[in-house]
Amino acid sequence: MPLYMCNAARGVIQDAAKAKIAADITRIHCAVTGAPEQFVHAFFAEESPAQPLNDKSAVLFGSIRAGRTDADKAEIKSKMRASIHSHTGIALDKIDVLTADVPASWVLEGGEIMPEPGEEAAWLARHSSGERK
Amino acid sequence: MIACNCVVQANQISTETEASLRVQLSEFAERRFHAPAAINWIAIPEGSGFTAGKPSTSSVVSMQAPEPLSRTEREPLLRELCEIWARETNSSLNEVVGVISDPPTQ
């Protein structure tokens, strides 16, 4: 966690672009939140019924740890939308980026419950060097 | 029914392992939540999953509890869920993200 799931119309995001967007997602999320990159997941699907496109060509849905500020979330959404646009050429108004807050205590990753906001120090110290259980 | 979403990297889990996981996850839901699991299996195409910006071997298994859970109730359930996944897929806990959510508030 975070888990960013990108659903797109068939063929609009090429494999090479996926790698670049995933790198941007990771960089942007970590820069804004301070999270370690090893927990940032970016998955891409096409025409997934689980994540309707409606009138969009690409929808990125991020399940992120609860406790981020509205300003942080706005920055994440704006920058990730720009990344998808720049690597695919999809018009900005055909790209949607959404986030949902997930309480950290609902998630077990790397063998540990994710830390709550304000409790990151020890967890970051363990994980910033890549240590995972 | 207990909603259960499984997000996996395509071709990393065999058909036999998927079948075994479905049984184990259903048994977990019956044992812990007293209802069968409605499993939604999502395979991310090869080359389309990334963790830390690199090709991913991670899987995500999430279930929605039928009623709100305290942290002390949820944690052992999360551990059991992730251990089932790691055991059945012969992967490490580093490659498993487990989520047990509360039901939506009305």
Domain coordinates in residue numbering, chain A: 3-127
Q: What pLDDT, in 10s, does the model give residues A40-97?
A: 999 999 999 888 999 999 999 999 999 999 999 999 999 999 999 999 999 999 999 9
Residue in chain A lying closest to B51 (CA)? A41
Measured in angstroms, the CA of B16 and the nearest CA of chain A are apart by 23
B10 touches chain A (CB under 8 A): no
d(CA A14, CA A87): 9
**Given this model, what pLDDT does residue A125 score?**
73
**Given this model, what pLDDT does residue B52 score?**
94
For testing contact with chain A, the best of B51, B80, B100 (most A CBs within 10 A):
B51
Closest by CA to A25, choosing from A64, A72, A87, A83, is: A83
- pLDDT of B94 higher than 80: yes
Of A1, A23, A110, the CB nearest to B93: A110
**Given this model, what pLDDT does residue B39 score?**
97
One-letter amino acid identity for A115? Answer: P
One-letter amino acid identity for B67? Answer: E
For testing contact with chain B, the best of A109, A113, A126, A133 (most B CBs within 10 A):
A109
Contact yes or no for B60 and A38 at CB 8 A: no
Looking at 3.30.540.10, 3.20.20.70, 1.10.150.120, 3.30.429.10, the CATH number of the domain B2-101 comes to 3.30.429.10
**Given this model, what pLDDT does residue A133 score?**
46
Would you identify the CATH topology of the domain A3-127? Macrophage Migration Inhibitory Factor (3.30.429)
Contact yes or no for A109 and B101 at CB 8 A: no
Domain coordinates in residue numbering, chain B: 2-101
For every residue of chain B, DSSP letters joined together read -EEEEEEEETTSS-HHHHHHHHHHHHHHHHHHHSS-EEEEEEEEPTT-EEETTEE---EEEEEE-SS---HHHHHHHHHHHHHHHHHHHT--GGGEEEEEEPPPP-
**Given this model, what pLDDT does residue A110 score?**
83
- pLDDT of B18 higher than 50: yes
Residues B80-96 have a mean pLDDT of: 95
Report angle CA A47, A103, B21 to the nearest 5 degrees: 55
Query: Which residue is listed with tokens 């994710």?
Result: A114
